[in-house]
A and B are shown apart, each in its own frame.
Chain A
Amino acid sequence: MQLGRKLAEGYAVDPEAEESTPPVAEAPAEPRVEVETAVEPVRA
Chain B
Amino acid sequence: MPWRSARRAPEHSEQPLAGFKLAHPMLSADGSRAGFSGVTVGRGHVYLAVDDAICVQGSRHASPSKWCDCGFYCFHDVASARDLACEPEHRNAVLLEVAASGRYRRYERGLRYSRQRVRSVRVNRCDCGQPATVLVDTGAGSTGWRQLLPTCLACVGARPRLELQAFARLAGHGVTISGEAAPADIELSGAGQVALLHAEMALLQARLDDLQSRLDALTRGGDT
Residues of A within 8 A of B (CB): 1-14, 16-17, 20-21, 24, 27
Q: Is B137 an interface residue (CB 8 A)?
A: no
Per the 8 Å Cβ criterion, residues 1-19 of B in contact with A are: 8, 10-17
Q: Which residues of B contact A (CB under 8 A)?
A: 8, 10-17, 21, 40-41, 50-52, 60, 73, 75, 84, 99-113, 115-117, 173
**Set of chain A residues within 8 Å of B104, measured between Cβ atoms:** 9-12
Q: Evaluate contact between A7 and B15: CB separation under 8 angstroms.
A: no
Q: Cα distance A10–B21 when bound, in Å?
A: 20
11 new A-B contacts, CB < 8 A, other than A10-B106, A11-B102, are A1-B75, A3-B108, A4-B108, A8-B11, A9-B8, A9-B105, A12-B100, A12-B104, A13-B14, A14-B117, A24-B52
Q: Give chain B nearest CB distance to A42 CB in angstroms.
A: 42
By a CB distance below 8 angstroms, the chain B residues around A12 are 12-17, 100-102, 104, 113
Name the residue on B nearest A19 (C-beta).
Answer: B50
A16–B99 touching, CB < 8 Å: yes
Q: List 7 A-B contacts (CB under 8 A).
A: A1-B41, A5-B108, A8-B10, A10-B106, A13-B101, A17-B99, A20-B50
Contact indicator B108/A20 (Cβ below 8 Å): no
Contact A14 B106 (CB under 8 A): no
Tell me whether A9 and B106 are in contact (CB under 8 A).
Answer: yes
Report the bound CA distance from A3 to B106 in whole Å: 9
Known pairs A3-B73, A8-B11; A14 contacts B16 (CB<8 A): yes
Q: Are the CB atoms of A17 and B11 closer together than 8 Å?
A: no
Instruction: Enumerate chain A residues within 8 angstroms of B15, measured Cβ to Cβ.
Output: 12-14
Residue of A5, A17, A24, A27 with most partner-chain B CB within 10 A? A17
Q: Are the C-beta atoms of A9 and B17 separated by less than 8 Å?
A: no
Partner of B101, one of A3, A9, A17: A17
Whole-angstrom CA separation of A24 from B52 in the bound complex? 9
Q: Which residue from B13, B16, B60, B107 sits with its C-beta under 8 Å from A4?
A: B107
Pairs of residues from A and B, 10 with the lowest C-beta to C-beta distance, nearest first: A10-B11, A4-B108, A14-B101, A3-B107, A14-B16, A12-B13, A3-B110, A17-B117, A12-B101, A8-B106
Chain A residues near B14 (CB, 8 Å)? Answer: 12-13
Question: Are B10 and A11 in touch, CB under 8 angstroms?
Answer: yes
Contact B12 A4 (CB under 8 A): no
